[in-house]
Amino acid sequence: MKVYRRRAVLIGEMLTIIMVFLIGSGLILTALNALLEAHQRVVEGSNRAAMIDDFLHKLRSDVRRADAAHLSAEPAADGAVQCLTLPRADGEAVYRVEGHAVTRSAVGLDTATHVWDDPDLSVRFIDESVPMEARRLVRVIVTWKPTRTHDTAPTRTFDAAIRTAGQQSGEGERHD
């Protein structure tokens, strides 16, 4: 009986050691998974920031080359579609926002170029020009609201003020 009792105790101790090892391994894997997800969020955020910067750079170039007198930003009544028309010497450029997709087209071209199409990003064009002024001011508000992921990353707003006629533009990022 003593032999069986010793074997039972030994088996119990071995099972306890195995259980502790499995629980410890699970905790370590959970921690590593959390670190990986955090890293992916950082990478995704920096990729989006680079994409927004590239978009604003191209748009700023188009706005600065535009004919200020005929530049127009037209938000639709429902806010779903917004259009920024930039008349230029080499042809009119039109940026159109439909939902979360932004396209750029030019007069005489049947095809529109996708600037981006992403459910987490939205764009608004606001014409803040002073009437009868030679220069025009257009605010471009790009909002990144992470909806696809279940993380708690804050909504980030990139607010760029762009002037025609080669004026300086102010650009900033606001965390809501």
In a domain, 35, yes or no: yes
User: What mean pLDDT is predicted for residues 129-151?
Assistant: 68
In a domain, 102, yes or no: no
In a domain, 141, yes or no: yes
In a domain, 38, yes or no: yes
Helix count and strand count (H, E) for the chain: 1, 9
Assign residue 15 a region: left if phi > 0, alpha if psi is -120 to 50, beta otherwise? alpha
Q: Are 84 and 106 in contact (CB under 8 A)?
A: no
- Is the confidence at residue 149, as pLDDT, over 60? no
In a domain, 89, yes or no: no
Number of domains in the chain: 1
- Is the confidence at residue 156, as pLDDT, over 50? yes
Confidence band of 168 (pLDDT split at 50, 70, 90): very low
User: What mean pLDDT is predicted for residues 32-50?
Assistant: 80
In a domain, 106, yes or no: no
**Residue 150 DSSP SS3:** coil
Domain that holds residue 128: 5-69+117-175
- Is the confidence at residue 175, as pLDDT, over 70? no
Distance CA 109, CA 163 (A): 26
- Is the confidence at residue 73, as pLDDT, over 70? yes
CB-based contacts of 106: which residues, under 8 Å, 6+ apart?
A: 91, 92, 93, 94
Least confident segment among 21-25, 28-32, 44-48: 44-48
In a domain, 171, yes or no: yes
Q: What is the DSSP letter of 69?
A: G
In a domain, 45, yes or no: yes
Segment (H or E) for 45:
helix 2-64
Q: Are 171 and 56 in contact (CB under 8 A)?
A: yes
